[in-house]
Amino acid sequence: MQWTDEGIVLGVRRHGEASGILELMTRAHGRHLGMVRGAFGSRMKPILQTGNSVSASWRARLDEHLGNFTVEGLRLRAAGYFGAPHAIYGVSHLAALMRLLPERDPHKSLYAQFEDLLERLEDAGTAAPLVVRFEFQLLAELGFGLDLSECAATGGRDELVYVSPKSGRAVSRDAGAPYANRMLKLPAFLREAQVLPAGTDLADGFALTGFFLSRYVLEPRGLLLGDERAHFIAALARALPNVA
């Protein structure tokens, strides 16, 4: 068995003295692991940093085997994150999210979104809403998409400002008003790509996606939202006051 694909480094753990088990999110083969010889050597270590894009060739005798990667660097963006604390935490958070996907299950649209986000991660103002949208899309890819197309109570499409925590469906301002203290706020930028966040929109967006990630994805697996996400949001709040 053999294939070659582009991938984004999610992490690498040591295996023996110099080798490592590399975890990639690949364009056509999904999240995939394989051994890299010399992974922690001076030549490979800078390439195998979380967030870098690589060209990877995987080979194994049988498809179910771990196999071996041969890797070449394509876009070594990770070094640029060290100048922005939010980017350091952000790339770790995004990698943790990608690990929630089933192994070897392609998600080409999400891969493209992931790659684009990594290119923009250093700019806090750009990255913040993109990460909210990425979490929203991840929920859909995992089978837990939120329905924000119309009001769950009336079927209307105007003034959708809430999301029901029970159904994951949008609710209009008038229909949700009696239950506002129990509703999650729906920021406009999450429904319309051309709308920029304003006021508390970013904080509301992170609260919304965090709630459903916890309820639908993490809690059934006995997991919690990672510290990486909390640190990322805290770092964003220092750069963008409306995130807090």
Between CA 152 and CA 168 the distance in angstroms is 9
Least confident interval from 105-114, 120-129, 141-150, 188-197: 188-197
| 244: pLDDT strictly greater than 70 | no
Site of tokens 């980017």: 87
85-101 burial: b if 16+ Cβ within 10 Å, else e:
bbbbbbbbbbbbbbebb
| 23: pLDDT strictly greater than 70 | yes
pLDDT given for residue 242 in this prediction: 75
**Distance separating the N- and C-terminal Cα atoms of the chain:** 49
For domain 2-76, the CATH architecture is: Beta Barrel (2.40)
Amino acid letter, residue 63: D
The residue extents of the domains of the chain are: 2-76, 80-148+186-243
- pLDDT tens per residue across span 100-131: 999 999 999 999 999 999 999 999 999 999 99
This prediction has a pTM of 0.95
3-state helix/strand/coil string of 63-76 = CCCCCEEEEEEEEC
Q: Under a CB-based contact definition with an 8 Å cutoff, are residues 173 and 161 in contact?
A: yes
pLDDT mean across residues, the chain = 95
- pLDDT tens per residue across span 209-230: 999 999 999 999 999 999 999 9
Site of tokens 């364009």: 27
